[in-house]
Structure 1
Amino acid sequence: MNKFKLVLTAVFGIILMLKGVLVFAQSNSHPFLIVTEDQFEAHREKAYYEPWKSMAEDALKITEEGFNQSISGAYELQDYIGAVALAYILNPEDKAKYAQKVKDLILNQYSKLKPTEKRNWGGVVPPMSSFFVAILVLDIVYNDLTKEEILACEKLIESQIFKINRKGSWTDVRLGTHGTWDIYKGVRTGPDDAYYNGIMHQITPDGVSPVTIHYAWERVGGGDSRISKAGYMDVLEFTGIDQRYYANERLKKYHRWLFSASVNNNKEMAIIGDMLPSQTLNNDLLHARVGNFDELAASYAAWFHEHDKKRGHIISYLLPKKKSSYPSAPKSSFYENGGAFLRESGSDSLGIHAVLYNIKSQDEWHTHQETNGLALSGMGNRLLVNGGRLGEPTRAAALNNTLTIDGKDHDSRLGNGIVEYISREDFDYAMGDAGPALPSAFHNRSMILLHKTPHSKAYVLLLDEVEVEQGQKIISYLHPANESHIDTLLVNESYRAAIDHFPTVAGTALGIHYLTKPERINQSLVASAIPSRYPNHPKHSRLEAIYSPDNSGKKNIVTLLNPMAEAEKGIQLQPSLHGTYTANLLQHTDGAKDLVFNSLTPDRSIAFDHFHFEGEFFFHRESKGERNFIFAKNATDFSDGELEFKADKMLTLWMNSQFISVIANEKTDIYLKSKASRRLYIDDKLIENPETKDGWMKIPLSEGVHKLYYK
């Protein structure tokens, strides 16, 4: 009896489920995937205004020009059929004609596509992406086709897409196209957890891609070449089946990061992970709907596409919920789980964009061993490249702009993330911790971007703090975008690499100055991609700097990277070695003077000219005799007669005559000189009656980041 009840219950459950599917299918009269018929008129009204007006004109022009069968392919089809569907909506008097065009394209052109599991990527991704658009279009013109025509189109689509399994490589494109078809047919009525989880795995909690910059744009970023990977979420949102996407905080952060931090000032991808400098970004259709996720992301997208016209297509025209945003140039940004993306003003296409990459929670097949790895752009070019693509042979740490112990691969592609950062006007600092990538050693890499000012040029400083076992070698790799030869200006100290490996702007170079002199530097040409896959892809130059630790197993390494015009006179450095520290004076032609100190001994005490400093690393800038600011790392004391501080425990801070940004890794006190006419604020709160002795104010600091200023 109990068995009979169980069987009966199961049967009723199946009946209810099928009934629910039937009700869903019947309640969603076509079109319903990304637009409904009662919305057509509102979309027609938009065509009187920009950017919709230009998009409408573009769609009509494409439609009337006809489909060029001689160059037909999956991507050409998805572009053309999407334009025809938009013309169908915008010109109701000719909608029957456009519906017939759609039918003919599906039956006569989509039938020629060859989706197959036997041709790897090309047999799966392009056709499945194109069929995703075809499904959306069939839904739109549904009501102007006969039942027989609809059935013929559905049969063709179904027979083609089911040549591709629901599971396999390139999972998201399978889920996106099959899932959209399931919704069209009324089979899927609830959230798609497999798809959602797959999308979330490609985004760190802070919104950065752990994959590569290229795949970030092509996958979740909505590339035309894989349009169903990201476009499926728009179908799920519009139908109300799964509305976990537009309001998702991780996706909001991701789109902000994508359209700002991931690209350089010349709007090219930073080179991280499996990618080539020859790969470019396009005016992809799904970029138009970024505002559905986030207004700030949309303003960055408007900056990125400032000179691009949106294309005439159902996806770019129908999906955006809001009018285009005003452009907003990106600034430096920091992601604990992802990296530091430092930049000069985004409005300067020649400005520096410097990346310190460090992901801590997840990686993927295309991720390289780039923990504490670098990407660098400036003068309109990518200045550093990596091992390129595709897969295992290109991932090795030695083929990326990072650091190894004895040349061995990293144990993990994950690190401990970005653990410190300070951002002030014309100055950015960040530090990444290698963590599990080098579990038997210790490696913190700091990157400092000095912005261009009226009195100084822009450049980047690197500080590597390393601790290893005695007898081990520390090897730092740099891969300039150079395929000819790197000029040696001073052996083991200064080099200049002409940027001739896929340059965007001719006549530029990268100056590389090892302020901490290595034992030796090896120069070689290395592969920029897998030769079997890219047999004619040129190699690029690599500099391999080799260091030994001191008697305690430690080594602090300072390197200066100088983007420059090829004809520009090299940076003027005056190095000097003292018993306990190195000092480098950099004299700018426009008047500024920089001093860089690096401590060599455990007592960390530096006395130079009229300076006194106790700490590991120190930077001082003055312009025309006036102190601009100082930056001190792991420091307890500084005095130059104008700027002064003391601390009970080590601090990292940036300081000028009015403002201080300080990082305290533990609770401590900082002592500052009192100024009779000015009051001191900490984290926007006035410090009332600070304890004062001998002209020094004692300020308690809790662990964390603090901002202080005099007013």
Structure 2
Amino acid sequence: MDILQYTGQDDYYNDPRTIGFNEWLFGGALTPTRRYVTFGDTDSSRSAEYRTRAFAAGNFSDQAAANAAFFFSSMKPAANLLSYAIVDESPAPEMPTSRIWSGGYAAFREDNTTNKALAGYLWCPAADGGGHAHKDINAVHLTAYGENVLVNSGYAGYGSGISGSGWSQSYSWDWINKRAESSNTVLVNGNDHASKAGGGVSEGFTNQRLDYASGNSGPALGTVKHQRNFVFVRPGAGANGYWILFDEIAATSASTTTQVLLHPNSKTISTVNEKTEYRSVMDGVTFGSGSQVALSMFLGTSPLTVEVKKGGIAAYDSKSFEGEYLYSSYQLNSLTKKKNVVTVLFPEDATHAKATMTRISSVWFSGAAIAQGDVVDYALESNGANERVHDAVRFRGLATLYRMNEGELDFFFVRQGRSFNDGQAVREGFASDDDVSIFIADTAGSIISPGTNVTFFHDGILGVYFDDFVAPIIDSGENWVRVAVPEGTWETRYLTPTLPGDANGDGMVNEADSRILAENWGRTGLTWGHGDFDRDGRVGPTDAAILAANWGQNVGETASTVPEPGLFVLMASLLPLVLRRRR
């Protein structure tokens, strides 16, 4: 590739496909331990090298180069002629952050630069990768505290099976490469996948508190549809991080069963609570993390049966091993021919304690409570067709996750749903005309909308930002606003009256707010986010006076601690903008 580029025979460095591949390779395919994720023919036991390719990543994109530098900046390029020809100057290292590739991949990583960071990956490519691809559509790989904790079948050479002393059996190439049961995915009636191609990532977003991606099975399960909703609950607020699988299966026959498969990086699985909780200590392919790392697998939805089976995990350098894996079966609903399943995957080590998890069962929904001291998360599934009630909380959606911290709502997430109500006197939540996927922590989060009207509830809410624009308000009242949410995925931020004159809600009163006021000067029917600080429905001199009185303030400061420009000075600075808008 590089030689063809160097000799002018092709233009790989500007090809979107090769640019995307390099950004995926260095930004999504390596775990915090600098090992490979175990999708397709990949071996997790070997540390990635790329002595030449990593230093040439800048030929493709700045992003690829910065991520490559994060992993390989301590190394030097290989001493050969190719390195001389293609190696580019390395930029400042940049840690890969959570990212979603719509073609069928999600990489979620904790904001932690060490090799102990939590990271999880979802694989659902929309194309068959050929002989090196596996039947691993909607499979996941997890890394925690310096070790892989959930792995797929691996690789020990093309066409090679694996065997070992004391194993119950040997494992063929077919098991490794051509059997879905060797991966962390889903089966239907115990049958193999029909295809190595999936349906890509249907939707998702990344956030400072929670990452979410929804993988579509495409043709992998024939006429059955599997939607794997992969959620990373990031560490913070006195709680450790973990993952949740919200699996949704829709079939054409009521007699269908579905199997959820989990392969920990471990030779054994211990039963904590029959058909509910299982735990594995990592003793498969390990990297010397310095502490005992374990993974708890909690079945929030009650299964029909659970089997602990044996399966081979392939690796080079005689590191293949025979491990145990969970094979949990669930019966689809006889009327709807559907089944939603909640599974919690919680890692632990000597300094990160395991949560206390309990099953939540109802006729209408199921899930788990995940308790870490005063922080309790509730992960629930339902059919999404009706509002459901758990304790004081009301929700409608296919999946719901919410956190209570010392009895107060911290955040909520709803997948493809229409409402959430925390049940308090001043409501927190939303109500939508159509199904949306939404995450809100205090006053900020993300929303995926088909283009619909949504009412947002929050103490003192005055408006809503979607990315950088204020949504037009359809209606409003005390502690609620109703707005039109355009189609798309949006970063969402509530506008609340924390500081008079702060039109854009960034906690400061400055030139940005004066520009907003000027651009809307004289208009009526507007909101705080447009500069109507006195809420009389018109942007005018009174609003300018409010802005002037608070000029230069930050949230938490008082007027006496900052300079004030004076109303007439401020109006003079606004005059050119006002006149320009009127022209």
Normalised by the size of structure 2, how large is the TM-score? 0.76
Distance 1:522 1:583, change over 3 A: closer
Distance 1:382 1:547, change over 3 A: same
Secondary structure of the corresponding residue to residue 627 of structure 1: strand
* Equivalent in the alignment of 1:124: none
651-660 or 432-441, which deviates more: 651-660
CA-based RMSD = 2.3
* Equivalent in the alignment of 1:293: 60
Task: Give the deviation of 1:405 after TM superposition.
Answer: 0.6
1:521 equivalent in alignment to 2:293:
no
* Equivalent in the alignment of 2:76: 309
Task: Give the deviation of 1:567 after TM superposition.
Answer: 8.8
* Equivalent in the alignment of 2:31: 264
Amino acid at match of 1:260: G
Distance 1:557 1:475, change over 3 A: same
Secondary structure of the corresponding residue to residue 68 of structure 2: helix
Which of 104, 110, 121 is 1:344 aligned to? 110
| 1:455-474 equivalence runs, <5 A | 455-468=238-251, 469-474=253-258
Rg larger in structure: 1
Task: Give the deviation of 1:656 after TM superposition.
Answer: 2.8
Q: Once the two structures are superposed, what CA deviation does each residue of 1:161-191 show, in whole Å capped at 9, x if it has no partner?
A: xxxxxxxxxxxxxxxxxxxxxxxxxxxxxxx
1:333 equivalent in alignment to 2:107:
no
Which of 319, 336, 349 is 2:86 aligned to? 319
Secondary structure of the corresponding residue to residue 325 of structure 1: coil
Distance 1:568 1:302, change over 3 A: closer
Amino acid at match of 1:301: A
* Equivalent in the alignment of 1:703: 487
For the 8 Å contact 2:278–2:296, the answer to whether it is kept is: yes
- The CA distance in 1 between the partners of 2:367 and 2:241, in whole Å, is 20
For the 8 Å contact 2:276–2:300, the answer to whether it is kept is: yes
Secondary structure of the corresponding residue to residue 265 of structure 1: coil
Q: Any unmatched runs of 5+ in structure 1?
A: 1-232
* Equivalent in the alignment of 1:239: 7
Q: Once the two structures are superposed, what CA deviation does each residue of 1:237-279 show, in whole Å capped at 9, x if it has no partner?
A: 2222x13111222211211111121011111111111233333
- The CA distance in 1 between the partners of 2:465 and 2:260, in whole Å, is 42
| 1:32-51 equivalence runs, <5 A | none
Amino acid at match of 1:471: S
Q: Once the two structures are superposed, what CA deviation does each residue of 1:371-392 show, in whole Å capped at 9, x if it has no partner?
A: 1111111111111222233445
Which of 408, 412, 417 is 1:635 aligned to? 417
Which of 136, 141, 145 is 1:379 aligned to? 145
* Equivalent in the alignment of 2:264: 480
- The CA distance in 2 between the partners of 1:261 and 1:564, in whole Å, is 23
Task: Give the deviation of 1:510 after TM superposition.
Answer: 1.1
For the 8 Å contact 1:283–1:308, the answer to whether it is kept is: no
1:427 equivalent in alignment to 2:210:
yes
Task: Give the deviation of 1:621 after TM superposition.
Answer: 1.3
Which of 420, 438, 441 is 1:653 aligned to? 438
For the 8 Å contact 1:486–1:541, the answer to whether it is kept is: yes
* Equivalent in the alignment of 1:575: 359
| 1:395-406 equivalence runs, <5 A | 395-406=178-189
Task: Give the deviation of 1:332 after TM superposition.
Answer: 0.7
Q: Once the two structures are superposed, what CA deviation does each residue of 1:23-49 show, in whole Å capped at 9, x if it has no partner?
A: xxxxxxxxxxxxxxxxxxxxxxxxxxx
Task: Give the deviation of 1:607 after TM superposition.
Answer: 1.6
- The CA distance in 1 between the partners of 2:182 and 2:121, in whole Å, is 17
| 1:137-152 equivalence runs, <5 A | none
533-542 or 359-368, which deviates more: 533-542
For the 8 Å contact 1:617–1:634, the answer to whether it is kept is: yes
- The CA distance in 1 between the partners of 2:285 and 2:318, in whole Å, is 16
User: Higher helix proportion, which one?
Assistant: 1
For the 8 Å contact 1:342–1:353, the answer to whether it is kept is: yes
For the 8 Å contact 2:148–2:286, the answer to whether it is kept is: yes
Distance 1:625 1:473, change over 3 A: closer
Amino acid at match of 2:35: E
Matched residue pairs, number? 471
Task: Give the deviation of 1:312 after TM superposition.
Answer: 3.0
Distance 1:441 1:254, change over 3 A: same
- The CA distance in 2 between the partners of 1:653 and 1:595, in whole Å, is 16
Q: Give the fraction of aligned pairs with identical amino acids, expressed as a percent.
A: 24
1:410 equivalent in alignment to 2:176:
no
* Equivalent in the alignment of 2:119: 353
Distance 1:535 1:292, change over 3 A: closer
For the 8 Å contact 1:455–1:623, the answer to whether it is kept is: no
1:684 equivalent in alignment to 2:468:
yes
- The CA distance in 1 between the partners of 2:127 and 2:246, in whole Å, is 24
- The CA distance in 2 between the partners of 1:686 and 1:703, in whole Å, is 15
- The CA distance in 2 between the partners of 1:291 and 1:481, in whole Å, is 34
Task: Give the deviation of 1:568 after TM superposition.
Answer: 6.4
Which of 446, 452, 470 is 1:668 aligned to? 452
* Equivalent in the alignment of 1:441: 224
Distance 1:281 1:579, change over 3 A: same
Q: Any unmatched runs of 5+ in structure 2?
A: 160-172, 496-504, 506-583
Task: Give the deviation of 1:645 after TM superposition.
Answer: 1.1
Normalised by the size of structure 1, how large is the TM-score? 0.63
- The CA distance in 2 between the partners of 1:658 and 1:535, in whole Å, is 52
Distance 1:388 1:695, change over 3 A: closer
Secondary structure of the corresponding residue to residue 404 of structure 1: strand
Distance 1:265 1:359, change over 3 A: same
Which of 21, 46, 49 is 1:254 aligned to? 21
Task: Give the deviation of 1:694 after TM superposition.
Answer: 7.6
* Equivalent in the alignment of 1:366: 132
Distance 1:575 1:314, change over 3 A: same
386-395 or 334-343, which deviates more: 386-395
Task: Give the deviation of 1:534 after TM superposition.
Answer: 9.5
* Equivalent in the alignment of 1:511: 296
Task: Give the deviation of 1:605 after TM superposition.
Answer: 2.5
Task: Give the deviation of 1:609 after TM superposition.
Answer: 2.5
* Equivalent in the alignment of 1:277: 44
For the 8 Å contact 1:643–1:656, the answer to whether it is kept is: no
Secondary structure of the corresponding residue to residue 272 of structure 2: strand
- The CA distance in 2 between the partners of 1:284 and 1:269, in whole Å, is 15
Task: Give the deviation of 1:329 after TM superposition.
Answer: 0.3
- The CA distance in 1 between the partners of 2:219 and 2:384, in whole Å, is 26
For the 8 Å contact 1:580–1:604, the answer to whether it is kept is: no
Which of 606, 619, 622 is 2:404 aligned to? 622
Q: Once the two structures are superposed, what CA deviation does each residue of 1:58-109 show, in whole Å capped at 9, x if it has no partner?
A: xxxxxxxxxxxxxxxxxxxxxxxxxxxxxxxxxxxxxxxxxxxxxxxxxxxx
